Copies of this chain bind each other. A is one copy, B any other.
Amino acid sequence: MTAISSDDAQLAWANLVRSGTAVMQRVENDMKKQGFPPIAWYDVLWELEKAPDGRLQQSEAQSRVLLAQYNFVRLLDRLQEAGLLRRVPCKVDGRSNVLHLTDEGRTLRRAMWTAYDAAIAEHVGAHLSRQETGQLADLLSKLLPERPKLAFKARQSGRGRGA
């Protein structure tokens, strides 16, 4: 918790950015080679599948995948266009939608997971021991002190995972 020299922090930062982007690129690349859509699609499908009946408030889904609202809306357009989910007006709150996962959505999510799991194992698991992996997960979690529910506007470029 003590403040450290900026040099140390910069080294950790540089490695975080380098490793983070490189690993993400490799995993996404593996998926793409197999003809799968971006991982952002997986994230949304997975949030829906975790929810009861595969249904979730649009605003709730948005906050879970850490995407900005305008970004999320356009992502949903594509997912709906592909027949993976439907937007159904919410009966309780007229402002909101409820997202419904379709059978096609479930099928695709399952298929993506096979490739996704393998890619993670290859690009993360294969390079670290069990102990190291635990340490890494622990250290990284310390970088996220507050988990702002909707406090700030997430701005991304197709990232924002969360397997």
Contact = CB atoms under 8 A, between A and B. Distances in A.
Q: How many copies of this chain?
A: 2
Nearest to A152: B29
Contact of A123 (B132, B143, B154): B143
Given A2-B129, A9-B120, A9-B121, A15 B137 contact: yes
A15 B128 contact: no
Given A3-B126, A157-B157, A10 B163 contact: yes
A124 B161 contact: no
A163 B163 CA distance: 28
A60 B47 CA distance: 42
Contacts of A96: none
A121 to B, nearest CB: 5
B159 A16 contact: no
Contact of A136 (B15, B17, B127, B161): B15
Interface of A: 1-6, 8-25, 27-29, 66, 117, 120-121, 123-130, 132-137, 139-145, 152, 154-163
